[in-house]
Structure 1
């Protein structure tokens, strides 16, 4: 059975499908080694509490969670521990409290599931606090540089593709231009993957500048060929033609990307005199039942992360590369983010299919 250990697992950043598959896999693999597993609630916020908020994870606790969306542990994408917003508006370094929470739980190691931002914060905490940390990549944007697949991406693409499948019919029925705005904070992976799979006529991603004239030509080409509608997919990070981001500020004063779909709708309507409609998928891409691939990737990553702990291989992140689960140092994994490769197969496929990419 090996040395008795107590390990923690937390999910950090935005939620996505496949996180519960990770939690389940970590629990099963660690329990098979005779280890205790604690699920830390609401990411690093759970470590701020005194006592830290954590639940024991066992076979019974994780039974039936494989197909559930979200995360049974909760998560947060707010409150940088090194500049934590306080009630009086000040910022306080609360990292010592979080570090102490890890030690209060008596953890031998921690598995952190998150994107590049979350993993960077967890790594800094681990370095300062003497934690043994292993990372697992999670982001629907699929932009963590060292892995071909991140948890949540496949489900998000499936949801966006299904939306496009449904919109074909209503677009054709009303001779409309349907614009679908999908997530993609820094990269256009969801947009180009779903756009190709869903039969879009135009795909706009932040990696490729566009002109309204180019989009208009494609829509006119469709009309000349007897197609009375067009589908446009746009990633939320796409900017105006002048390079300005489109954002909103919410009631908490936080600025976030939103509105490029409506921006395009207004301009295409004015330019072409066509009827346009906008569908913003938003957080629907994060929710729902995880796809089989996200369950598989999550399960493989969870097992591999526990095995790294068993090997004493800390400060590493598991990765999916060339159909294998490997690992790389976390610092290397988050050094760069992966944008859409302009010379890669998806861009070539889109162009070969006659899809307009805006340029």
Structure 2
């Protein structure tokens, strides 16, 4: 890993004692404050740490998240705002609820605003008035999918956003969203810094794709792969129910295959898993269609799961006509439909009867309420975001790494995307559970790998 700067910005010296009644010592049966010196190691193997020591450098580490004994903001002076941006994701309402409850009950913050429809609601000309939030208002949010604040894609003028914050007296802003949202948050932080203002901006990373760099797991992922696993079980029943049945399921995953791979392993009934990180060909002698033919001849059914971003090299012409979305992302052509057509064509030419079915559960997966494990994770993320904001930290997201909550500079987090490593154990588990070939590429593609 390149040597990234993991230092966290602070607005100034904390001036107030925390209202939390926590401890400074161990073994007294009271939870402790977290020391600023507490760090979470980036590497979790002894060999990696030994290499750093041999090179005479300190092993890379993150600042540990959690409550500090001194806080920067005086709670009666705080006006906090919460904004949700980008696509829907299970757990959004749980994070909102957790932020409101922690601000009110743990720190005594009374002025909490919900920003409507993403960054669009942070500019005055949108005429989208914020919603006053309190524990009663958010009490039943956990039972609802989506975000009750609404969301939108795309940037807004940063100077107008900071003007909006100043006009409303907002001195803490929580940004809930993916890398595009957090890039926007980083720009807001820079404008705040340019004006020498004491406004904290804390990000809470959100993506079903689980592709946020330096974040082990993002909220909503557990729910997404759990629901996707149920879909894959149905897909298996459909495939088995027809002679030479082939069911193709498309899951979300623009540039990363974590959701597709994890659901594939969890389901136990998938035969082929196609993701953006692993190149594959379609045609014989060693492409996917050849492997699928072997499977059909031997077992008379197959389940294929493909991430939405896989195989886009086969669809360049179609994708070029689609343009980009409001966030500037290139719109993807439908690899699922394309695969269905190619499978039908391939087997028709060979006079092999097949029944092909296609399932795209994307919008169902992302809009459901979170499962209990995700709800707990959302609540803990929210608590740690509030602790960070009240301590005067800014320009950071709350992450999760090596089973611990961390503080990560936004600039480091958005510097690249996280990708599934084909040489690590998750992809090995995919290969072992599906039985698909290690590679489904012909000689020409293999030369480029």
Give your verdict on TM over 0.5: yes
What is residue 204 of structure 1 aligned with on the other side?
A: 274
Contact 1:237 1:245 in 2 (8 A): no
Count of residue pairs the alignment pairs up = 345
CA distance in structure 2 between the aligned counterparts of 1:252 and 1:190, rounded to whole angstroms = 22
SS at match of 1:174: coil
- Residues 355 and 343 (structure 1 numbering): CA distance in 2 closer, same or farther, change over 3 Å? same
What is residue 173 of structure 1 aligned with on the other side?
A: 241
Deviation at 1:320, TM superposition (A): 0.9
Deviation at 1:303, TM superposition (A): 0.5
Contact 1:139 1:150 in 2 (8 A): yes
- Residues 243 and 74 (structure 1 numbering): CA distance in 2 closer, same or farther, change over 3 Å? closer
What is residue 220 of structure 1 aligned with on the other side?
A: 293
What is residue 351 of structure 1 aligned with on the other side?
A: 431
Contact 1:146 1:334 in 2 (8 A): no
Pairing 1:103-114 to 2, within 5 Å after superposition: 103-114=166-177
Deviation at 1:11, TM superposition (A): 0.7
Pairing 1:317-356 to 2, within 5 Å after superposition: 317-353=397-433, 354-356=435-437
Pairing 1:1-12 to 2, within 5 Å after superposition: 1=19, 3-4=75-76, 5-12=78-85
Deviation at 1:339, TM superposition (A): 1.0
Matched, 1:268 2:343: yes
Contact 1:240 1:246 in 2 (8 A): no
Deviation at 1:183, TM superposition (A): 1.1
Cα distance per residue 1:208-252 (max 9 Å; x no partner) = 111223323433333344x22100111111125657375363999
Matched, 1:41 2:109: no
What is residue 298 of structure 1 aligned with on the other side?
A: 378
Deviation at 1:37, TM superposition (A): 1.5
| Residue 163 (structure 1) aligned to one of 217, 226, 231 | 231
What is residue 211 of structure 2 aligned with on the other side?
A: 143
SS at match of 2:161: helix
What is residue 71 of structure 1 aligned with on the other side?
A: 147
Pairing 1:232-251 to 2, within 5 Å after superposition: 232-240=304-312, 242=314, 244=316, 247=319, 249=322
SS at match of 1:38: strand
- Residues 245 and 153 (structure 1 numbering): CA distance in 2 closer, same or farther, change over 3 Å? farther
Matched, 1:281 2:351: no
CA distance in structure 1 between the aligned counterparts of 2:239 and 2:432, rounded to whole angstroms = 24
| Residue 59 (structure 1) aligned to one of 125, 135, 144 | 135
Cα distance per residue 1:100-158 (max 9 Å; x no partner) = 11111101211111101111012102211344201110011111011111122222212
Deviation at 1:164, TM superposition (A): 0.8
CA distance in structure 2 between the aligned counterparts of 1:240 and 1:326, rounded to whole angstroms = 35
Contact 2:325 2:331 in 1 (8 A): no
Contact 1:179 1:261 in 2 (8 A): yes
Contact 2:94 2:142 in 1 (8 A): yes
CA distance in structure 1 between the aligned counterparts of 2:432 and 2:376, rounded to whole angstroms = 31
SS at match of 1:207: coil
Contact 2:84 2:149 in 1 (8 A): yes
Q: Which ranges of structure 2 fall in alignment gaps of 5 or more residues?
A: 1-18, 20-73, 349-353, 442-449
TM-score by structure 2 length? 0.72
- Residues 327 and 246 (structure 1 numbering): CA distance in 2 closer, same or farther, change over 3 Å? farther
RMSD: 2.3
Matched, 1:195 2:270: no
SS at match of 2:406: strand
Contact 2:81 2:173 in 1 (8 A): yes
SS at match of 2:207: coil
Pairing 1:14-53 to 2, within 5 Å after superposition: 14-32=87-105, 33-35=107-109, 36-49=111-124, 53=129
Contact 1:28 1:59 in 2 (8 A): yes
CA distance in structure 2 between the aligned counterparts of 1:151 and 1:159, rounded to whole angstroms = 14
CA distance in structure 1 between the aligned counterparts of 2:426 and 2:116, rounded to whole angstroms = 38
What is residue 182 of structure 1 aligned with on the other side?
A: 251
